[in-house]
């Protein structure tokens, strides 16, 4: 049995290491010899036929955030037996912590693996077949939530109002068939059909929360919903079913977060998607391109759904985050135990009443991505091109927009490379890719985002934005 707490920790790791059903890295957009270029624009034809090495042909891991580890973790004072503490510690100045936050604090990550893929020239164009698994996690937390957690009561009539607290996660298996062809000397078009099989999904959206202090406790009202689907092995009990203490009849159907389990794998959704793309040679040395990927839907079944109640509930406040040796629990104040206590307190803040217990269903639009590109071949060195790519990812709390400038070079037929610079929702980033594609194989490695300062646990200190794409494929034909 996998507990909900472990599931949550896994999601947090995925969001702080990775887990966005993304495509190939955008750094590869203008590299002709990159075998998976069709994932960015289905109109791009492959340089050669190829077959991927199973599970090694295309691996992509990424995390994208406007906050970092140093936003939430701090060094303890000299003499403390522990090196780090959370932002909830009284030794961390509230203003110092809150100044690091954005109005909406986002963490988004992906882990995508291509299990098997092949591309070949036939039927008047270039064809691709791909089987893979894509997972995505997105979290959006308003600044006022952290103000409530850190500052708490400031007077007899303290009140906090915030919304747009969202958590989304999904994992799908994908079977994709693509075809591209030349319509005229200047125009190429392409399309890809995707069959999607749902492995798991979770969606929580707190649209509005009102927190007011009264009678030594916090009075909370909220408007939000929860949807979870992971097959028939997902167990989401209520307080009554878990045998927990119920203070009034309205608490009987509250979800008991600590007892959520998952014990049997099974498919739990079906969807269809389509990619559409085109390239056009506007001038002999200038090519324009456009693509819209992942237009479609995903339907989830065997879903557990819940909703916040219309009434008010109470919360005693965040406590037991001790770092001073005069405070109770100081000797047990390891960092992971601080997070455990913080997790326990957060469960009391969010009260969700269960509605459907595995009999519900819901449908969501796929997270589409738009690409608009332009590439110009330099007259002074024909193996050098400059490019610009505009990208926009439509994914709720995981949405982002980016503009990226490229310098691409192909000094020899079997090797090309790129360096690029982008500015996006998550800040600026430097990207690169090395692509080796002689006859017989294609090996590539690259990244859209870099970080240059890490913790001993190899986590980015500043903004947690980084990714890596690597793959090895066998090529043949001309």
Q: Identify the DSSP state of 27.
A: G
- Tens of pLDDT along 325-374? 555 555 555 555 666 666 666 666 678 889 888 888 899 999 899 999 99
pLDDT for 248 equals: 82
What average pLDDT does the segment 452-457 reach?
63
Do the strands 313-315 and 353-365 form a parallel or antiparallel pair, or are they unpaired? unpaired
- Two tokens, residue 477: 């034909």
Is residue 380 a part of any domain in this protein?
no
Is residue 215 a part of any domain in this protein?
yes
For the beta sheet containing 234-235, the strands, ordered from the edge strand earlier in sequence to the opposite edge, are 2-3, 261-262, 234-235
> Which residue range(s) make up the domain with 250?
2-285+295-366+429-476
pLDDT for 11 equals: 40
Count of the separate structural domains present in the chain: 1
pLDDT for 19 equals: 33
Is residue 299 a part of any domain in this protein?
yes
* Confidence class for position 12, pLDDT limits 50, 70, 90: very low
Between 21 and 159, where is the model more confident? Answer: 159
What does residue 116 show for φ and ψ, rounded to 5 degrees? -160, 140
Task: Quote the CA–CA distance of 84 and 73 in Å, as a whole number.
Answer: 6
- Tens of pLDDT along 190-206? 999 999 999 999 989 98
Instruction: Answer whether residue 157 shows pLDDT above 90.
Output: no
Is residue 387 a part of any domain in this protein?
no
CA angle, residues 90, 96, 100, in degrees to nearest 5: 125
Task: Quote the CA–CA distance of 183 and 281 in Å, as a whole number.
Answer: 12
- Tens of pLDDT along 58-88? 999 988 888 888 888 888 766 665 677 788 8
In percent, the amount of the chain with pLDDT more than 90 equals 47
* Confidence class for position 309, pLDDT limits 50, 70, 90: confident
Look-up: residue for tokens 């098997």?
116
| Residues ≥6 apart with Cβ < 8 Å to 229 | 198, 200, 201, 202, 268, 269, 300, 301, 302, 303, 304, 362
In percent, the amount of the chain with pLDDT more than 70 equals 83
Q: Is the pTM of this model over 0.85?
A: no
Instruction: Answer whether residue 3 shows pLDDT above 80.
Output: no
Is residue 336 a part of any domain in this protein?
yes
Between 436 and 245, where is the model more confident? Answer: 436
Q: Are 126 and 181 in contact (CB under 8 A)?
A: yes
pLDDT for 43 equals: 98
Is residue 418 a part of any domain in this protein?
no
- Two tokens, residue 406: 């490229």
How long, in residues, is the chain?
478
Residue whose C-alpha is closest to residue 338's, from 76, 102, 56: 76
- Two tokens, residue 357: 């217990």
Do the strands 384-393 and 353-365 form a parallel or antiparallel pair, or are they unpaired? unpaired
Is residue 270 a part of any domain in this protein?
yes
What average pLDDT does the segment 45-53 reach?
96
Q: Are 457 and 448 in contact (CB under 8 A)?
A: no
- On the 0-12 / 13-18 / 19+ scale of CB atoms within 10 A, 123 is exposed
Is residue 262 a part of any domain in this protein?
yes
Task: Quote the CA–CA distance of 130 and 477 in Å, as a whole number.
Answer: 19
When mean pLDDT is compared over 17-21, 333-337, 350-354, 420-424, the highest value belongs to 420-424
Task: Quote the CA–CA distance of 392 and 292 in Å, as a whole number.
Answer: 10
Instruction: Answer whether residue 28 shows pLDDT above 80.
Output: yes
Q: Are 226 and 306 in contact (CB under 8 A)?
A: yes
* Confidence class for position 221, pLDDT limits 50, 70, 90: confident
* Confidence class for position 475, pLDDT limits 50, 70, 90: very high
The 10 Å Cβ neighbour count of residue 227 is 22
Q: End-to-end distance of the chain based on CA atoms, in angstroms?
A: 51
Task: Quote the CA–CA distance of 475 and 436 in Å, as a whole number.
Answer: 11
């Amino acid at each position: 049995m996998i507990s909900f707490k472990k599931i949550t920790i896994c999601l947090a790791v995925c969001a702080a290491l990775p887990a966005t059903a993304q495509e190939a890295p955008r750094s590869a957009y203008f590299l002709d010899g990159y075998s998976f270029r069709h994932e960015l624009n289905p109109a791009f034809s492959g340089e050669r036929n190829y077959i991927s090495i199973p599970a090694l042909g295309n691996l992509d891991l990424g995390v994208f955030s406007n906050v970092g580890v140093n936003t939430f973790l701090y060094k303890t004072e000299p003499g403390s037996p522990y090196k780090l503490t959370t932002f909830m510690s009284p030794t961390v100045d509230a203003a110092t912590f809150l100044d690091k936050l954005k109005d909406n604090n986002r963490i988004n990550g992906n882990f995508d693996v291509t299990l098997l893929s092949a591309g070949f020239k036939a039927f008047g164009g270039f064809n691709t077949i791909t089987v893979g698994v894509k997972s995505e996690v997105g979290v959006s937390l308003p600044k006022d939530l952290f103000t409530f957690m850190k500052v708490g009561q400031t007077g007899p009539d303290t009140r906090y109002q915030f919304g747009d607290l969202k958590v989304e996660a999904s994992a799908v298996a994908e079977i994709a068939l693509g075809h591209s062809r030349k319509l005229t000397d200047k125009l190429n078009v392409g399309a890809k059909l995707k069959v999607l099989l749902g492995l798991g999904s979770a969606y929580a959206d707190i649209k509005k929360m009102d927190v007011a202090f009264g009678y030594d406790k916090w009075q909370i009202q909220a408007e939000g919903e929860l949807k979870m689907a992971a097959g028939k092995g997902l167990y989401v009990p209520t307080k009554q079913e878990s045998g927990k203490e119920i203070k009034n009849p309205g608490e009987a159907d509250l979800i008991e977060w600590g007892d959520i389990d998952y014990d049997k794998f099974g498919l739990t959704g079906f969807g269809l998607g389509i990619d559409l793309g085109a390239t056009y040679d506007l001038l002999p040395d200038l090519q324009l391109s456009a693509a819209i990927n992942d237009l479609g839907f995903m339907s989830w079944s065997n879903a557990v759904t819940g909703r916040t109640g219309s009434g008010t509930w109470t919360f005693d406040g965040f406590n037991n985050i001790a770092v001073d040796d005069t405070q109770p629990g100081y000797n047990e104040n390891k960092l992971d135990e601080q997070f455990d206590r913080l997790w326990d307190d957060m469960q009391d803040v969010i009260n969700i009443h269960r509605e459907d217990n595995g009999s519900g269903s819901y449908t969501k639009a796929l997270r589409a991505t738009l690409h608009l590109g332009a590439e110009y071949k330099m007259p002074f060195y024909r193996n050098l091109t400059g490019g610009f790519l505009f990208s926009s990812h439509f994914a709720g709390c995981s949405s982002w927009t980016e503009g990226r400038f490229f310098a691409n070079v192909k000094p020899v037929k079997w090797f090309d490379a790129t360096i690029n610079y982008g500015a996006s929702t998550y800040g600026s980033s430097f990207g690169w890719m090395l692509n080796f594609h002689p006859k017989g194989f294609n090996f590539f490695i690259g990244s859209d985002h870099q970080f240059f300062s890490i913790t001993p646990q190899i986590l980015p200190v500043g903004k947690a934005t980084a990714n890596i794409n690597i793959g090895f494929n066998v090529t043949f034909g001309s």
